[in-house]
Structure 1
Amino acid sequence: MLKKKVKIGFIGTGIIGLPMAKNLSKNHYDVSAYSRNAKYHSNMIKNGINVIRNLKEFFCKIDILILAVSDTKDVKEILTGRNGLVKNALKPSIVIDMSTICPIETIKIANVLKKNNISMIDAPVSGGEIGAINGSLSIMVGGEEITVKKVMPILKILGNKITYIGSSGSGQVAKACNQIIVAQTLNAVSEAFVIADKFKVNKSNIRSALLGGFANSKVLDTHAKRILEKDFKPGFKTKLHAKDLRIVKNIAKKKNLKLPGTNLVNKNMNKCNKSGHSEKDSSAYYYIVKKQNK
């Protein structure tokens, strides 16, 4: 069990990372962030987050490192790269990677860190910006159980559904499964709305009816509402969902799996990403399905 005097460092203070850092600061943890972009500094400072611009200095001042970055290569660079964590004499003893990255690479990184006396857990999240703000994220955790128990007080501030999946990399496997289901459900909602459009039936009424039956889901509740309201302020950006589906595609290739549904949504999400929707919420996927049925 950790005491609140532990010093937590964040790298990745975007849509998901910043609210998480704020929530830990509100709960009286000593929180610092490594950030070179000055335009974000004032917001962090006013929320009690220390800003450190020098990476080496940052690593020296923290006990636990939390990552919430975009891609596998970013995690590798931060942890095992030329100026990465393992190159520093003074460094945190625990890394919590809350990014969504390749589970195969996660296992490799965790093994390198272990040789340098650093414990790593993979703890990707689901729930988007609103879940991060409210501290209600679903967190899928992989790694050594003893380390997971140590950081559980931190995770309980960030999420209300924390599931220990298993050994290193298994949290990322769970997140890959999550992204498959979310994307294919979004595809189903989009196709359903296209049928409604063809018959000139009110899509909002259809959504209301379906929410009361077995078709009900968080995607139908949240993403379908965004589609109806044409409100694509990102809770989870299209470019990140496209990245996650590419990870799944690469896993399937390496493991010789045939996943036709995943191939379809991967193809369409990439189209969505390249069609001017990259910074929008991934519910903009609907427009790709709609365009295919003009």
Structure 2
Amino acid sequence: MKPGPVGMVGVGNIGLPILRNLLEGGYEVVAFRRTNRECIVSAGAVAAESCAEVSSRCEVIFTVLPGFDALRSVVFAVNGLVKNAREGQILVELSTLGIADKVAIRDELASRGTVMLDGAISATPNMVVAKRGAMFVSGGERECHNLLPILRAILPSVYYMGGFGNAQRIKLCANHLVSVNLSAAAECLALGRKLGIPSKNLVDALVNSGGGSVQLTARAQRMIDGEWSPAMGTNSGLKKDIDLIQEIAREIQCPVPLLTAAARMYGDAIEKGLGDADVASIYEVVSERAGVPPRRS
């Protein structure tokens, strides 16, 4: 399916590599970002002046946004996507949000003929660049199937999860693992350093051990070095997702004690002023308590 220009709203840490992968896949991209639109042009895409312009030019649009208020503004503001919403247009919403919030937007758009699909990306920005990781989609099966060529231009591994909202549900499950994994990595690195293992040996051995993981590989050295910027994902952003997971877990009466323990680390990092720092910075909280703070050049 080559539908003409593909729309993008939200060109940040994840959105920019998505945009580049679409361009590499042979798609023209029309994108909107409120600030620093130069990154859109330098990537080879068209920088739109508004969300309404994206909607007017594109039949398929992706949104990757930080929260529900941002999504609602992008869709329903004066120059929002809804200004040129029409029958047959498809919005693939990739943000990590509450399912009820996504349903509310979907239902409002449906009255104008626009189909909204629920989507999610489970990958670090560098993984998206390398076309590794997973994309989850849910909602209309026919629309998801028709979009597979576009979706696979972003990431080859695309999973249709069924009814609308299931992409969010599996993304929250994945982020449960990310949250616990990162907190365990921080704790383990502090333990290893406290035991006197040289930092380089510690990182190399653990990354290649049976306890290795995507998150350990991506962030172990950053933890040791105290490298919190640039942020691939922030403590505030992950804590938002943890709150969503805990809310759903309470609703269905599913205990999540490991996540509850990890949540305290991210909360402590935010209180320490590390809300906008990379999630690797939870190591600062853990390691300082252990008496082995990050080394900094």
1:137 Cα shift?
3.6
1:247 Cα shift?
1.9
How far apart, in 2, do the equivalents of 1:141 and 1:89 lie?
21
**2:49 aligned with 1:53, yes or no?**
yes
Is contact 1:63–1:91 with CA below 8 Å preserved after alignment?
Answer: no
1:174 Cα shift?
0.9
Map of 2:121 onto structure 1: 125
1:90 Cα shift?
4.5
How far apart, in 1, do the equivalents of 2:101 and 2:33 lie?
25
How far apart, in 2, do the equivalents of 1:234 and 1:178 lie?
19
Q: Deviations over 1:127-167 (max 9, x none)?
A: 21212323334212212211111111111111132222221
How far apart, in 1, do the equivalents of 2:245 and 2:92 lie?
21
Map of 1:103 onto structure 2: 99
Aligned amino acid, residue 179 of structure 1: N
Aligned amino acid, residue 73 of structure 1: D
- Evaluate the alpha carbon distance shift between residue 188 and residue 127 of structure 1 in structure 2; reply closer, same or farther with a 3 A threshold: same
Moved more, 25-34 or 183-192: 25-34
Is contact 1:62–1:92 with CA below 8 Å preserved after alignment?
Answer: no
How far apart, in 2, do the equivalents of 1:262 and 1:279 lie?
21
**2:252 aligned with 1:270, yes or no?**
no
Which of residues 1, 6, 11 in structure 1 aligns to 2:4?
6
Q: State the TM-score, normalizing by the size of structure 2.
A: 0.87
How far apart, in 2, do the equivalents of 1:174 and 1:193 lie?
28
1:194-209 paired onto structure 2 within 5 Å: 194-209=190-205
Percent identity for Structure 1 against Structure 2: 22
Map of 1:28 onto structure 2: 26
Moved more, 282-291 or 177-186: 282-291
Question: Secondary structure of the equivalent of 1:6?
Answer: coil
- Evaluate the alpha carbon distance shift between residue 43 and residue 185 of structure 1 in structure 2; reply closer, same or farther with a 3 A threshold: closer
1:91 Cα shift?
7.4
Map of 1:281 onto structure 2: 278
Question: Secondary structure of the equivalent of 1:166?
Answer: coil
Q: Deviations over 1:208-227 (max 9, x none)?
A: 33344431211222221221
**2:242 aligned with 1:237, yes or no?**
no
1:1-294 paired onto structure 2 within 5 Å: 2-3=1-2, 5-37=3-35, 40-80=36-76, 84-86=80-82, 88=84, 90=86, 93-232=89-228, 233-294=230-291
Moved more, 12-21 or 25-34: 25-34
Question: Secondary structure of the equivalent of 1:148?
Answer: helix
Root-mean-square deviation (CA, aligned residues, Å) is 2.3
How far apart, in 1, do the equivalents of 2:77 and 2:258 lie?
35
How far apart, in 1, do the equivalents of 2:66 and 2:85 lie?
26
How far apart, in 2, do the equivalents of 1:179 and 1:259 lie?
13
Q: Deviations over 1:201-257 (max 9, x none)?
A: 224323433344431211222221221333333222222212221222232344344
Q: Which consecutive unaligned segments of at least 5 residues does structure 1 have? A: none
Moved more, 159-168 or 181-190: 159-168
Question: Secondary structure of the equivalent of 2:134?
Answer: strand
Aligned amino acid, residue 10 of structure 1: M
Moved over 6 A (4+): none
1:81 Cα shift?
6.0
Question: Secondary structure of the equivalent of 1:33?
Answer: strand
Is contact 1:62–1:91 with CA below 8 Å preserved after alignment?
Answer: no
1:83 Cα shift?
6.0
- Evaluate the alpha carbon distance shift between residue 92 and residue 75 of structure 1 in structure 2; reply closer, same or farther with a 3 A threshold: farther
Question: Secondary structure of the equivalent of 2:290?
Answer: coil
